[in-house]
Structure 1
Amino acid sequence: MFARSAIPAFRAASRSFTTQAARNVGPASARGYMGAAALAAGGAVAYSAFAAPTVHLEGPKTIAGELGTSTERSYVMIKPDGTSRQIVGDIISRFERRGYMLVAMKTVVPSQELAKEHYIDLAKKPFYGGLVKYITNGTPVVAMVWQGKDVIRQGRRLVGATNPLEANPGSIRGDFCVSVGRNIIHASDSHESATKEIGLWFHEKELATEYRPIAWDMIMADN
């Protein structure tokens, strides 16, 4: 943007001053006009730089927000075992204490179609059928969307390793479970998967994106 705005301004100023100099004055005065033209062009460049600053986007903006900013969103789901064990509040508090914002939440008994689409990337795995059967067994899951800076990556850290036996103590899986087949929670692993999963489980109108927690600006500030 800087280069595109600078070159036309410099050329236009140069043409104006040099044409006038050629008609009315000698070589020495013409050189003076050229210097003035350069100064005028420089002023135009400086003005354009301050008047219309370039905005750098960290990543594409989707229903999952903009990657790398405080609008970034992740899909998090408490599975039937987490719901059955009545530890939903404990799990939610982990994200709240970190400072992330809950923008959508609902309990759902997933259909076969919804479960299959959610886990479609695992369709060739031998455990796919059993996973779909378990998720659709009639016990509700808690579907959520969390928002905040780096929430996708940090959300995965809060959740812990897929195999709870490899999850660090302090993580959700490291504190609450031991079996990979009953690891109580799911969280998006990328901006692409968050975009797909949020769109699969929620309509965009269900996301409460217009409010801010009272300490939001303080939590998300860089200085």
Structure 2
Amino acid sequence: MAGNRTFTMIKPDAFEAGHSGDIIKMIEEAGFRIVAGKVTQLSAELAGKFYEVHQERPFYGELCEFMSSGPIIAMILEKDNAVEDFRTLIGATNPAEAAEGTIRKRFAKSLGENAVHGSDSDENATIEGNFFFTQFDEVGIRKVAAN
């Protein structure tokens, strides 16, 4: 059964280019609700921990360097079938292969600077969301939204 939450990051390239607002607008217009969000910057060490699944790949060092090069926006999103629907919204990792109207087609610069991260499974959405947020973060945001 598909879950109703996923994790995303607006990456340093899209943040620096001023695309965060447009990306968030696309996310909300696609029916996702932001249940947690924050602007932060990863150190190279934290980027390495987040992407440790790729540490044996040749691009790992470059990925960690890029992801620690500037601010990001981390978000937990909610919607039925969240992971699959969000993967469709962001498009292929390579923007040249991404479908028209997807986030990566509109905002990604290249395969390496592809504007957003999106969890690839319900399990990874939980792991990745927990990397950036505690239960307290989500409860606090829900209380603010309810007032």
Query: TM > 0.5 between the two?
Result: yes
CA contact (8 A) 1:165 1:178 kept: no
Q: Percent identity?
A: 38
**Deviation above 2 Å: which 4+ runs of structure 1?**
208-213
SS of 1:182's equivalent? coil
- Per-residue deviation at 1:112? 2.3
CA contact (8 A) 2:14 2:108 kept: no
Bigger CA radius of gyration: 1
Unaligned runs of 5+ in 1: 1-57, 59-66, 214-223
Q: Equivalents in 1 of 2:68, 2:43: separation in Å?
A: 6
CA contact (8 A) 2:95 2:109 kept: yes
Q: Equivalents in 1 of 2:47, 2:107: separation in Å?
A: 24
Cα deviation, 1:1-46, whole Å, max 9, x if unaligned, reads xxxxxxxxxxxxxxxxxxxxxxxxxxxxxxxxxxxxxxxxxxxxxx
Q: Which has the higher contact order (CA 8 A, sep 6+)?
A: 2
Q: Which residue of 1 aligns with 2:11?
A: 79
Q: Which residue of 1 aligns with 2:77?
A: 146
- Per-residue deviation at 1:178? 4.2
Q: Equivalents in 2 of 1:191, 1:212: separation in Å?
A: 25
- Per-residue deviation at 1:96? 0.7
SS of 1:74's equivalent? strand
Q: Equivalents in 2 of 1:149, 1:210: separation in Å?
A: 22
Whether 1:117 and 2:49 are equivalent positions in the alignment is yes
The AA in structure 2 aligned to 1:154 is D
Aligned length: 144
Unaligned runs of 5+ in 2: none
Change (3 A) 1:212 1:136: closer
TM-score, length of structure 2 as denominator length: 0.91
Q: By percentage of residues, which structure has more helix?
A: 1
- Per-residue deviation at 1:114? 1.7
RMSD: 1.7
TM-score, length of structure 1 as denominator length: 0.61
Q: Equivalents in 1 of 2:61, 2:137: separation in Å?
A: 30
